Structure 1
């Protein structure tokens, strides 16, 4: 009997190993086949102000600090047809492409940045104004700086003898080199001597700076706008264009007496617009409509039930079928283009708001109007917690010997942290004239080395390497990756001809698998949790005062601009309530309460739970155990406070409040942009009109939160499949053992 049991156990054990492994491999293959990186997942992090965009990674083949920042890119889907409006004014955009001072070091160094020419611009001229300083290392006969656009060199220079200090190079960029969308500006410097057609790299100069670039450098772009073609797609490109957002030329309107559904539709739309172009970090203002107000914008969206549209707008939009459909229609009003979203059905108007929040649908709408039926699918695709992201969309190349780097920045989903089992699969090739005993590639994640591989002659035309990503990496917002090549030459540091210059290339087949988990602590460190979960709005309830003043509109615009920037879809739920909302309506919702002690009953009733409490008359913020507050000062401040919801276990409430409306607008601005968001932490924040921000943690610290094994398994489909299969096989083993024991027990009794 023991021999039979042992044999059966061996068979079942083999099945336990083989079946889950096959299931896990199948899940990974399915994920790889079915997941494509979205635009927001493209590598890159802006190295300039919001007006200096980029979606392609900024590549910095140099070991210098500060020269490898990457830039966020937003792809422009197609071009706007049409020619420049000759009656339109000639406009000039000053784009700064450096955020900080940059030092270029080493014998061969490259700096790459991207600038964007929107599809509706008709560029007249682009002028590069480069502020720089050559150090004494850069002698006139040993140093060269070459400028190129989109891979085409158009200007080179050497240091001038006897000239030192800060200088400015002003040069026109040839128009024929420019393209609509993202353009690559490349500065390539070399420090060398040339003898007998040999290029000799100066090894002693490698660690030292020989050229310094200043952040005052800029590109001055002169352009006229193309005539609008009247389509929704063209309207959307202009509405969300970074130049329009930076200059406040885009608006969203609601009727002055907007109902809950109209507010919900508008909040979906505002959140969706903020995802469309991440180069400008300014909210599209949400405002109540008054006659002629659209004249203050170039592009505006007006969301209203049909009966609340002003008469002059109703006359331009047919009411036929609007009781069972919603309609989006572009209407020209003077010099402004207005996209009207309307319906007689509140539910369908909310659906129209979700349509506006779907960039793909907006970009595909080539007509002047769209009708949205009850069965029209407007939701964005679901977002997976396990993402396969291409490291580079077009492939990246470095040229030059010794240490060369490619830098990337991968955005992380908001409110989520790295989990285990992440991987980077690097697909690359390199020159065959290297000294392979000394050449290698190293990958760094967040500045921490995660693996290296020696280069070999046999794999020069096609090499691969897979590196595991440690889950204990500290990353917030984005995770930076550096691909560092050490390309060593044989023998002398002199080589003949540019054709023999060593190189390495990272192909678009390089894939990053990132596994993430939710940050569930009710702190601003984990914001936008709990209002977003898995990239979608998570049962959000917004409680507003009865009187919707300009300050209420401003605060809502700021909050939902940043929430939209962090969101990854339009399928979540947002509900808007007035001051009379009851406990039943607010139960099991994550609440955002905006207003003062006097005009928002929810804030008034939760005063005893707030960290910064109001005085008995509600006219000032009282001091607490963390901060002394003078009485007069307490009347002028604003606060952000994250507390547990009074109406649902496991839910949160964000109080955006202050004794005066101006105070809560100041507080909302802290959660209105990425730049301001990183100034706050903890669960209670106080700010004033002078820009002073004081953040505190009031909740008791429980130590480092350890993620449970059960939670990790539930968050990972591959691990869940493996565990279920293993448990099933183990159960079968136990049942088989019990049956055998029972069978042989009966035989013995006989």
Structure 2
């Protein structure tokens, strides 16, 4: 080959390398370059944050999914600095996962907002959560040494318009049930509506039952709260828009091409089969089918066992009718470690905060002897007259401890938690270190920067009891208790329309986030299928007066009742309702058992028409709106207005002494010792009386 030809070939190859896009950070295995999805962008927004003090920190986490091939990560920062900022000395430094990569000076001190775009180095990313930290050093003009560090004029605001945008693509198709399963509930699939459940048009309770169990089991694994998994039917055109589909249907209701797939993969009369198909155009479909209801529901429940689903590395799974697919039974924990397996590190002077989210059952209340145990270390160059550690729950301070030079290498604190703090559902724990240094401005050196470290041994001890109040503040209890569905019977209309199906999808997406595993009991029924077991269960009824006869037959038990024709809500002792306005309302009502069964409850999600049902469903079906409901009855109109009322008298908030003792080991020991002391004193008194010949006679004790 001629030298000139070789030169041209080399130049072409070099040019190809130069114009080729930068390699993506691949987290999903080997890219299939000819079968890629179109690039898309997932945006995480900041919350408004105010950075105060000479040294301050703001943080934001964002998510990198396992199967994303990341092209770029762009940090857009919107900020405003104090008008007194010395722009020659003040600075902002940005870190990703603890590694600094960018610094800047505030643009000016005009008090105006400014924006800046910063690309994050791909090599510093990691799968899962990533942390952006912004360290601020805000020096004010003409500041006096040793005074500026406590000035209220040192501030910088970061606005909620700040974002982290992750641009990525991924393999168009999945090759195993496990890969499909994880893609189905990934954050991008949820936010952009790429995943859906599809059932047949036959109004099969078993299909809906399996789908709702699947939604619940998948929801408790999701990272973000936004988005839901719609329930569609074969005839719904929206099903064609979903890239990730789980079809749950009886074998005889499947379209022919799907039945052929089930036949080819060994379906029989007893067992269920799961078959993954790549249908082209980036569409992945998991068919779940069986020839009997028990096997179909069992297969739907299996979706709530992530350990088992992640073992399915093939595109087909034959599931035995009696195969054990349940997870362990989860209970409310007593000891909760929250600082992470590697602990939490605090770096820098002054006020340093770390926030931790604790998930806990919604139906629990604190009792005595709940406490924090904190194990920590800190630097020895602090001003120990002013440095301290503080712990709080939901921004309510629980306790503080001063830091001590003699214990800098290993300190600990046990802080009791007051029982009036609400821990239902999830709650936030903040551990704050105020790390003060003497004459910081006078002797500022990088080597003197203070630090603190919260060890993995740090934990929360929670003693709790079940709350008995049947109110929305405790919802989804009693339908979900201690992370499981609590013998729930769901009564649905005989003919399930699309709006009601999506209301159920949203409700069970929310309820599923309060569960763990898949061990709870959920049964879907038509109104005429109420049996003895259902009468003893916790009942959820959804529908209108016209399409759900169960609601109609129990109208007299509702707090907000329907008129005779069921087209509007009637006034009651709490609210006068205009008949026309009553037609626009939906209602959620928490009642005690409709059949007087002790310890059972009923949730009636009702409306005169579908419009009102959607209005109330937008509150029960979205985590961000759930907090708008309180008391035991709520009304929602089509304009988004919500009104809550309480009809039942509140339970006595004082926890019974026996309940407290039952969960408090120290109290049990104290009670036992007290009883023994009383017995000994009584025995001693009897012996003294007998020894001295004292007898009880008429007129009193006499010798």
Name the TM-score class by shorter chain.
Answer: 0.7 to 0.9
Residues 1:256 and 2:201 are matched in the alignment: yes
Residues 1:331 and 2:310 are matched in the alignment: no
Correspondence for 2:426 among 475, 478, 481: 478
Of residues 575-584 and 120-129 in structure 1, the stretch that sits farther from structure 2 once superposed is: 575-584
Correspondence for 1:495 among 422, 443, 447: 443
3-state SS of 2:310 partner: helix
Residues 1:652 and 2:601 are matched in the alignment: yes
Partner of 1:387: 334
For residues 213 and 301 of structure 2, the distance between their equivalents in structure 1, rounded to whole angstroms, comes to: 6
Of residues 474-483 and 500-509 in structure 1, the stretch that sits farther from structure 2 once superposed is: 474-483
C-alpha contact 1:495 1:501 (8 A) present in aligned 2: no
Partner of 2:222: 277
Of residues 309-318 and 718-727 in structure 1, the stretch that sits farther from structure 2 once superposed is: 718-727
Residues 1:363 and 2:321 are matched in the alignment: no
Summarize deviations over 1:673-714 as a string: whole Å, max 9, x none: 211101111111111111111111122346x42211223344
What is the CA-CA distance between 1:176 and the residue it aligns to?
Answer: 2.0
Aligned ranges for residues 289-368 of structure 1 at < 5 Å?
289-290=234-235, 294-318=239-263, 320=266, 322-334=268-280, 335-368=282-315
What is the CA-CA distance between 1:551 and the residue it aligns to?
Answer: 2.2
For residues 89 and 620 of structure 1, the distance between their equivalents in structure 2, rounded to whole angstroms, comes to: 49
Aligned ranges for residues 211-230 of structure 1 at < 5 Å?
211-230=156-175
C-alpha contact 1:295 1:336 (8 A) present in aligned 2: no
For residues 448 and 93 of structure 1, the distance between their equivalents in structure 2, rounded to whole angstroms, comes to: 37
What is the CA-CA distance between 1:585 and the residue it aligns to?
Answer: 4.5
Partner of 2:105: 158
What is the CA-CA distance between 1:720 and the residue it aligns to?
Answer: 7.1
Summarize deviations over 1:155-187 as a string: whole Å, max 9, x none: 211134575411111122222222222211111
C-alpha contact 1:278 1:565 (8 A) present in aligned 2: no
3-state SS of 1:330 partner: strand
Long gaps (5+) in structure 1: 1-77, 742-750
For residues 332 and 723 of structure 1, the distance between their equivalents in structure 2, rounded to whole angstroms, comes to: 66
1:700–1:514: structure 2 CA closer, same or farther, 3 Å change rule?
A: closer
Partner of 2:17: none
Aligned ranges for residues 610-689 of structure 1 at < 5 Å?
610-647=558-595, 648-689=597-638
3-state SS of 1:632 partner: helix
Correspondence for 1:407 among 345, 355, 359: 355
C-alpha contact 2:369 2:664 (8 A) present in aligned 1: no
3-state SS of 2:528 partner: coil
What is the CA-CA distance between 1:331 and the residue it aligns to?
Answer: 1.6
C-alpha contact 2:373 2:415 (8 A) present in aligned 1: yes
Give the TM-score, by structure 1 length.
0.81
For residues 629 and 291 of structure 1, the distance between their equivalents in structure 2, rounded to whole angstroms, comes to: 37
For residues 621 and 112 of structure 2, the distance between their equivalents in structure 1, rounded to whole angstroms, comes to: 40
For residues 642 and 724 of structure 1, the distance between their equivalents in structure 2, rounded to whole angstroms, comes to: 41
What is the CA-CA distance between 1:616 and the residue it aligns to?
Answer: 0.9
Aligned ranges for residues 579-598 of structure 1 at < 5 Å?
579-582=527-530, 584-598=532-546
Summarize deviations over 1:102-156 as a string: whole Å, max 9, x none: 2111011111111111111111112221111122121112210111212222221
Partner of 2:189: 244
C-alpha contact 1:80 1:234 (8 A) present in aligned 2: no
Aligned ranges for residues 93-242 of structure 1 at < 5 Å?
93=41, 95-99=43-47, 101-161=48-108, 163-192=110-139, 202-203=147-148, 206-242=151-187
Residues 1:421 and 2:369 are matched in the alignment: yes
Of residues 526-535 and 299-308 in structure 1, the stretch that sits farther from structure 2 once superposed is: 299-308
C-alpha contact 2:52 2:155 (8 A) present in aligned 1: yes
Partner of 1:55: none
- Tell which structure's C-alpha radius of gyration is larger: 2
1:541–1:367: structure 2 CA closer, same or farther, 3 Å change rule?
A: same
For residues 586 and 115 of structure 1, the distance between their equivalents in structure 2, rounded to whole angstroms, comes to: 44
Partner of 1:287: 232
For residues 292 and 594 of structure 1, the distance between their equivalents in structure 2, rounded to whole angstroms, comes to: 25
Structure having greater relative contact order (Cα 8 Å, sep ≥ 6): 1
Partner of 2:557: 609
1:643–1:277: structure 2 CA closer, same or farther, 3 Å change rule?
A: same
What is the CA-CA distance between 1:729 and the residue it aligns to?
Answer: 12
What is the CA-CA distance between 1:550 and the residue it aligns to?
Answer: 1.0
Correspondence for 2:501 among 553, 562, 587: 553
Give the TM-score, by structure 2 length.
0.86
Counting matched residue pairs gives 660
3-state SS of 2:74 partner: strand
For residues 543 and 148 of structure 2, the distance between their equivalents in structure 1, rounded to whole angstroms, comes to: 64
C-alpha contact 2:392 2:430 (8 A) present in aligned 1: yes
For residues 107 and 267 of structure 2, the distance between their equivalents in structure 1, rounded to whole angstroms, comes to: 73
Aligned ranges for residues 524-535 of structure 1 at < 5 Å?
524-535=472-483
1:294–1:486: structure 2 CA closer, same or farther, 3 Å change rule?
A: closer
C-alpha contact 1:85 1:225 (8 A) present in aligned 2: no
C-alpha contact 2:571 2:577 (8 A) present in aligned 1: yes
Of residues 115-124 and 484-493 in structure 1, the stretch that sits farther from structure 2 once superposed is: 484-493
For residues 622 and 126 of structure 1, the distance between their equivalents in structure 2, rounded to whole angstroms, comes to: 55
What is the CA-CA distance between 1:309 and the residue it aligns to?
Answer: 2.3
Partner of 2:699: none
Residues 1:453 and 2:401 are matched in the alignment: yes
1:491–1:208: structure 2 CA closer, same or farther, 3 Å change rule?
A: closer
For residues 265 and 719 of structure 1, the distance between their equivalents in structure 2, rounded to whole angstroms, comes to: 45
CA RMSD across the alignment: 3.2
